[in-house]
């Protein structure tokens, strides 16, 4: 009996320990399976999207804008887009990404300045992703990939502003102004809307207003468009405007640039799903259908108003549609996207013609009329058409029983306008009083190509 007891006791104890250990093993396996892991498909899509968004600036925006200016300013206009890729990239490394996306109230602080805390091997997922909504951060890509994708947004946004002061701002002033603007307008706003602890971020406990902005209606387009208007008003009109004709010197450039923007925008909007998944597909489809509707809307309004649909009107309408659908692209159905695009195309047409002519301001390339107005239309209509059936991480809009969301969108638009307008004016005043903003009259007559860069775009 004793011998049997001695034999069974250890065996029973061993079995008991094993039985007690099973839940622990199961928990460990469950924890391991639920932990974020790198996904090669998501990484591939986000690398592609990053390249597509850079493609929007270089060469897309460079060609689109440079074709719209006069011959003597073609290189100077291209140089501004190129400069954004250079200057903002370096600013992003030093402090831009940290201010935008590190956790914080108001702004992200400097803990990620110079990319401190990044995994140099890029072999682990974004460590900050677990507590963030899937459409803003992702747990399946390295932090460096999220960083470089967001960098491409930061590059194109101040580049859009350049369209308002085309043909009359000094290159040196443009460089200083855009660096300051990126740091004091874009970075805080990106944090408010997309960063953890953001004041305008849906689903964040720190949010004052739960606004929806899938890919940058407020952060990119309203901020740049409003700042563009402030720039146009502060600098004043180009010499000879509006009495002298100033037609685009090469609409072929602009057509090619607009087509590149359309293609690149799929990385802009569908890439904002931060994964190769169904949400990316939904945003891709919404983007394409809205753009087509906007081009038709602008061309149709122009046809009725002027008797002919111009190529410039068609491509301008397409860009307006891309802008309008940006904040809504991850929250709406294709049918809603068509309505948003149609509204964006028609409203932007009248903003760039009747409204601009009535007030007489010289927004050279209609940066405000397309991006400021189009972004506002899109942001507000997001509050009408957003549907959680499309994106469970979002919120329903007015048509789906949440009237409050429309108010939230308007509040976010107003906040963005206020920040962009006030800070832009202060920065322009500062740069103007130190190094000067505008080229001299002889330099403007000569053209920016020669006066600012000592070369010409055409030798014929």
Q: What is the CATH number of the domain that holds 52?
A: 1.10.3430.10
- pLDDT reading at 32 higher than 70: no
Supply the angle between the helices 223-235 and 143-161 in degrees, to the nearest 10: 30
pLDDT at 270: 98
Q: How far apart are CA 246 and CA 225, in angstroms?
A: 22
For the stretch 334-393, pLDDT in tens is: 999 999 999 999 999 999 999 999 999 999 999 999 999 999 999 999 999 999 999 999
Residues 6+ apart with CB under 8 A from 304: none
- pLDDT reading at 129 higher than 60: no
Does residue 145 form part of some domain? Answer: yes
Is the distance from CB of 360 to CB of 242 less than 8 angstroms?
yes
pLDDT at 148: 97
Q: Looking at 20-29, 173-182, 234-243, 447-456, which range is the least confident one?
A: 20-29
Q: How far apart are CA 279 and CA 42, in angstroms?
A: 12
Q: Looking at 127-131, 383-387, 394-398, which range is the least confident one?
A: 127-131
Query: Within a 10 A sphere around the Cβ of 284, how many other Cβ atoms?
Result: 19
Q: What is the mean pLDDT of residues 92-100?
A: 97
- pLDDT reading at 12 higher than 80: no
Q: How far apart are CA 279 and CA 283, in angstroms?
A: 6
- pLDDT reading at 262 higher than 80: yes
Q: How far apart are CA 207 and CA 377, in angstroms?
A: 23
Please choose, from the candidates 61, 33, 51, 39, the residue with its C-alpha nearest in 3D space to the C-alpha of residue 124.
39
Q: How far apart are CA 352 and CA 413, in angstroms?
A: 20
Reported confidence tier of residue 34, pLDDT bands at 50, 70, 90: low
Q: Which domain holds residue 434?
A: 40-453
Query: Within a 10 A sphere around the Cβ of 247, how many other Cβ atoms?
Result: 8
Does residue 35 form part of some domain? Answer: no
Q: Token pair for residue 97?
A: 């990404």
Does residue 5 form part of some domain? Answer: no
pLDDT at 319: 98
Does residue 3 form part of some domain? Answer: no
Is the distance from CB of 431 to CB of 176 less than 8 angstroms?
yes
If one counts the domains in the chain, the total is 1
Reported confidence tier of residue 228, pLDDT bands at 50, 70, 90: very high
Burial class, 22, CB count within 10 angstroms (exposed 0-12 / middle 13-18 / buried 19+):
exposed
Does residue 384 form part of some domain? Answer: yes
Q: Looking at 53-67, 188-202, 367-381, 389-403, which range is the least confident one?
A: 188-202
Does residue 319 form part of some domain? Answer: yes
Tokens 């397409």 found at: 318
What percentage of the chain exceeds 70 in pLDDT? Answer: 90
Does residue 18 form part of some domain? Answer: no
Q: Token pair for residue 293?
A: 């509707």
Residues 6+ apart with CB under 8 A from 61: 81, 156, 159, 160, 257, 261
Does residue 302 form part of some domain? Answer: yes
pLDDT at 177: 98
- pLDDT reading at 86 higher than 80: yes
For the stretch 147-195, pLDDT in tens is: 999 999 999 999 999 999 999 999 999 999 999 999 999 999 999 999 9
pTM value is 0.91
Question: Three-class SS string for the chain?
Answer: CHHHHHHHHHHHHHHHHHHHHHHHHHHHHHHHHHCCCCCHHHHHHHHHHHHHHHHHHHHHHHHHHHHHCCHHHHHHHHHHHHHHHHHHHHHHHHHHHHHHHCCCCCCCCCCCHHHCCCCCCCCCCCCCCCCCCCCCCCCCCCHHHHHHHHHHHHHHHHHHHCCCCCCCECHHHHHHHHHHHHHHHHHHHHHHHHCCCCCCECCCCCCCCCECCCCCHHHHHHHHHHHHHHHHHHHCCCCCCCCCCCCCCCHHHHHHHHHHHHHHHHHHHHHHHCCCCHHHHHHHHHHHHHHHHHHHHHHHHHHHHHCCCCHHHHHHHHHHHHHHHCCCCCCCCHHHHHHHHHHHHHHHHHHHHHHHHHHCCCCCCCHHHHHHHHHHHHHHHHHHHCCCCCCCCCCCCHHHCCHHHHHHHHHHHHHHHHHHHHHHHHHHHHHHHHCCCECCHHHHHHCHHHHHHCCCCCCC
Residues forming a β-bridge with 80: none
Supply the angle between the helices 143-161 and 171-181 in degrees, to the nearest 10: 130
Q: What is the mean pLDDT of residues 86-107?
A: 94
Is the distance from CB of 180 to CB of 386 less than 8 angstroms?
no
Is the distance from CB of 28 to CB of 55 less than 8 angstroms?
no
Burial class, 140, CB count within 10 angstroms (exposed 0-12 / middle 13-18 / buried 19+):
buried
- pLDDT reading at 80 higher than 60: yes
Residues forming a β-bridge with 438: 169
- pLDDT reading at 38 higher than 70: yes
Q: What is the mean pLDDT of residues 191-200?
A: 92
Q: Token pair for residue 85?
A: 């890729």
């Amino acid at each position: 009996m004793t011998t049997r007891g001695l034999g069974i006791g250890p065996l029973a104890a061993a079995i008991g320990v094993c039985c007690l250990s099973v839940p622990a093993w199961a928990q460990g396996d469950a924890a391991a399976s639920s932990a974020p892991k790198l996904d090669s498909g998501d990484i591939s899509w986000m690398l592609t999207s990053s390249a597509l968004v850079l493609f929007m600036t270089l060469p897309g925006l460079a060609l689109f804008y440079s074709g719209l200016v006069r011959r003597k300013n073609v290189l100077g206009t291209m140089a501004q887009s190129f400069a954004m890729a250079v200057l903002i990239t370096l600013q992003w490394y030093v402090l831009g990404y940290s201010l935008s996306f590190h956790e914080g109230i108001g702004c992200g602080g400097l803990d990620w300045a110079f990319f401190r805390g990044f995994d140099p091997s890029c072999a682990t997922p974004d460590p900050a992703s677990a507590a963030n909504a899937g459409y803003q951060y992702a747990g399946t890509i390295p932090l460096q990939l999220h960083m470089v994708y967001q960098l491409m947004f930061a590059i194109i946004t101040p580049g859009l502003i350049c369209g308002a002061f085309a043909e009359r701002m000094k290159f040196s002033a443009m460089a200083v102004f855009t660096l300051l603007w990126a740091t004091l307008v874009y970075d805080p706003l990106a944090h408010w809307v997309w960063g953890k602890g953001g004041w305008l971020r849906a689903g964040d406990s720190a949010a004052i207003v739960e606004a929806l902005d899938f890919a940058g209606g407020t952060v990119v387009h309203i901020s740049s468009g409003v700042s563009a208007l402030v720039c146009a008003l502060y600098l004043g009109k180009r010499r000879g405007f509006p009495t002298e004709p100033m037609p685009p010197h090469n609409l072929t450039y602009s057509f090619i640039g607009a087509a590149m923007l359309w293609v690149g925008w799929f990385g802009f909007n569908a890439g904002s799903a931060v994964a190769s998944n169904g949400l990316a597909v939904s945003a891709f489809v919404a983007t394409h259908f809205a753009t087509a509707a906007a081009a038709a809307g602008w061309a149709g309004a122009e046809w009725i108003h002027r008797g002919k649909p111009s190529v410039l009107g068609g491509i301008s309408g397409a860009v307006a549609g891309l802008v309008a659908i940006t904040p809504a692209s991850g929250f709406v159905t294709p049918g809603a996207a068509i309505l948003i695009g149609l509204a964006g195309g028609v409203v932007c047409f009248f903003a760039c013609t009747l409204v601009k002519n009535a007030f007489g301001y010289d927004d050279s390339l209609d940066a405000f009329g397309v991006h400021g107005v189009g972004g506002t239309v899109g942001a507000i209509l997001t509050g009408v058409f957003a549907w959680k059936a499309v994106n469970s991480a979002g919120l329903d809009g007015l048509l789906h029983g949440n009237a409050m969301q429309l108010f939230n969108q308007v509040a976010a638009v107003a906040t963005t306008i206020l920040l962009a307008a006030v800070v832009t004016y202060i920065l322009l005043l500062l740069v103007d009083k130190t190094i000067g903003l505008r080229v001299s009259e002889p330099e403007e007559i000569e053209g920016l190509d020669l006066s600012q860069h000592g070369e010409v775009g055409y030798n014929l």
